[in-house]
Structure 1
Amino acid sequence: MTAPLVLTLSCADRPGITAKVTGFMFERGGNVLEAQQFNDRESDAFFMRVEFDPGVVSREVLKAEFAPLAAGFGMEWKLALRDRPRRVMIMVSKFDHCLASLLYRWRIGELAMDPVAIVSNHPRESIRHTDIGDLPFHHLPVTAETKAAQEAQVRAIAAETGAELVVLARYMQILSDEQAAHFAGRCINIHHSFLPGFKGAKPYHQAHARGVKMIGATAHYVTRDLDEGPIIHQDAEAISHADSPEDLVRKGRDIESRVLAEAVRLHLQERVLLNGQRTVVFGG
């Protein structure tokens, strides 16, 4: 028996896709463990995620045999090992609560990831409240004059470690267009606001100035447009007129930590499919 696999796909919607995909698995002795699909009526697109036990057929053989079927439907698709930990590079600045949350969830087995590097624009002492153990730490300071060179170092570390996902765990630097394009579809940011409201710097202070009654956090894929990438996960919490900006920051730390962790989990489990500027997120 081989390890369980996850097939994800998207294509133009048409009759028979589900039948063809599940039939393909049945004919090869596969057993479907979980299946979800979504038909987007607005874009006339079809999305599907299937977890299955492939039986005795290898992933390489299945990929080769599925390719003609996928081509016939014009699919964008991926066939991944379900339980393989993905290699993750985490970037952080001075606020390490999201980093601490990710590492805790990794250590207890909640996140199937392999942290291959922690990159910060501040010294290691800046995140002294978080135990990173012997994980590789890279201090890469950045200024306007050194930004291009620093980003090249980040890309080099990602390449050397084989990082499949980059997580901006309150990394308080705006990525250049080149950097955002390089990591397109595999870089998740946590923004301490319920987007699309209060983009940019100090969103909690912006929210306080507007007298909002809810604050939130948004995890999204990074794109060239600041804080406008496809949203993966969001959450919110009620506040009152008595809360100061500092209270909002304090309450926001918890929201940010859990929202980012959930977005990372969904990505690691191949549950997020891009749909233009939006996402299709299959829960589980």
Structure 2
Amino acid sequence: MTIVAPRTPNLALKLPADEAALLVQGEDGQGLVRAISAVLADHDANIVALDQYSDDPTGGHFFQRTIFTLDEPAAVFPALEAELAVALDPLGLAWRLVDRGIPKRVAILASTSDHCLLDLLWRQRRGEIPMTVPMVISNHGDVAEDVRSFGIPFFHVPSAGPDKSAAEERILELVQGNVDLVVLARYMQIISADFLHRVGVPVINIHHSFLPAFIGAGPYRKAKERGVKLIGATAHYVTEELDEGPIIEQDVARVTHADTAADMQRKGAYVEREVLSRAVLAHCEDRVMRNGRETVVF
């Protein structure tokens, strides 16, 4: 069954119409910042923020995120991209130019737990995350009414039994070409390698553990049995290796011997939604740069 709700515009979201971001990474070397800045200056760009990191100044990996203003970025981008290619490609640098006036389109997948889903929808409605949510997809109908209250289309895609291929095919039909990011907001299904190859956009997951500890089912019961004093959550990009993708954000909460497993679950839910929202925010602001199994988050 498919349920579609009318969309309501996010009047709180105000993005800079004249700002762009340039993300560059590659082998470190002399003169990289100068080369990048020179291209931007040639196009009358005004740099308003610059973050740069090198994991080893002598032959390491270089990362830079530059925020700058332009008059009519859409009109300038073609010429700017052409000059960036001439200047940076011979240096072996990978780069990406982003119009910061365009919010990311984010599809959210959820199951029965609603805390991460509703937190993201609430922050999006308040304009706290530069994104739109064209759809929420769930393998259960439990969250349909809550999603409708935000004026966001809800799609019920059941995923019963060991063969998930039909459900994944339907999800791909919905998201391909329509979103820039997929977020698993406690979507309690394992995503196949085929889905990841075909979806065409990054996928972010929230894991109810401070990875790599207590992986698998019943993490709070395992934590209680182990007598832990900290519980946590981890947001990471999804890869073919289960729960092994590059980590974007983590946090913890203190617990004591007096906390029950239910107390830990309640505290853990708070951490989960905070960690996932911060990870999605960082991605939507183009502050995350992947480096193999690691990330640089500016």
Asked if Structure 1 and Structure 2 have the same fold, meaning a TM-score greater than 0.5 normalized by the shorter chain, the answer is yes
Whether the 8 Å contact between 2:20 and 2:70 is mirrored in structure 1 is yes
Whether the 8 Å contact between 1:219 and 1:233 is mirrored in structure 2 is yes
Q: How far did 1:22 drift?
A: 1.0
| Counterpart amino acid of residue 67 in structure 2 | E
Q: Which residue of 2 aligns with 1:144?
A: 161
1:20 to 27, 30, 35: 35
CA distance in 1 between partners of 2:291 and 2:200 (Å) = 14
Matched, 1:71 2:89: yes
Whether the 8 Å contact between 1:184 and 1:222 is mirrored in structure 2 is no
Taking a change above 3 Å as real, the CA distance of residues 207 and 180 of structure 1, as seen in their structure-2 partners, is farther
Residue-by-residue CA offset, 1:43-91 (whole Å, 9 max, x unaligned): 8111110000134661122111211112111121110011311111000
CA distance in 2 between partners of 1:184 and 1:237 (Å) = 35
SS in 1 for 2:244: coil
CA distance in 2 between partners of 1:205 and 1:185 (Å) = 34
Q: How far did 1:210 drift?
A: 1.1
Q: Which residue of 2 aligns with 1:159?
A: 176
Q: Which residue of 2 aligns with 1:172?
A: 188
Aligned ranges 1:72-151 → 2 under 5 Å:
72-123=90-141, 125-126=142-143, 128=145, 132-151=149-168
Residue-by-residue CA offset, 1:84-115 (whole Å, 9 max, x unaligned): 11111000000011111001111111011110
Whether the 8 Å contact between 2:232 and 2:251 is mirrored in structure 1 is yes
Matched, 1:38 2:56: no
2:232 to 207, 216, 220: 216
Q: How far did 1:201 drift?
A: 1.7
2:204 to 157, 163, 188: 188
Residue-by-residue CA offset, 1:239-278 (whole Å, 9 max, x unaligned): 0011111111101111111110000000001000001100
Whether the 8 Å contact between 2:233 and 2:272 is mirrored in structure 1 is yes
Taking a change above 3 Å as real, the CA distance of residues 279 and 155 of structure 1, as seen in their structure-2 partners, is same
Matched-pair identity in %:
40
Q: Which residue of 2 aligns with 1:257?
A: 273
Gaps of 5+ in 2: 1-15
Q: How many residues were matched structurally? A: 280
CA distance in 2 between partners of 1:115 and 1:129 (Å) = 14
Whether the 8 Å contact between 1:181 and 1:223 is mirrored in structure 2 is no
Whether the 8 Å contact between 2:180 and 2:201 is mirrored in structure 1 is no
| RMSD, aligned CA | 1.9
CA distance in 1 between partners of 2:56 and 2:215 (Å) = 30
Q: Which residue of 2 aligns with 1:58?
A: 76
CA distance in 2 between partners of 1:239 and 1:152 (Å) = 41
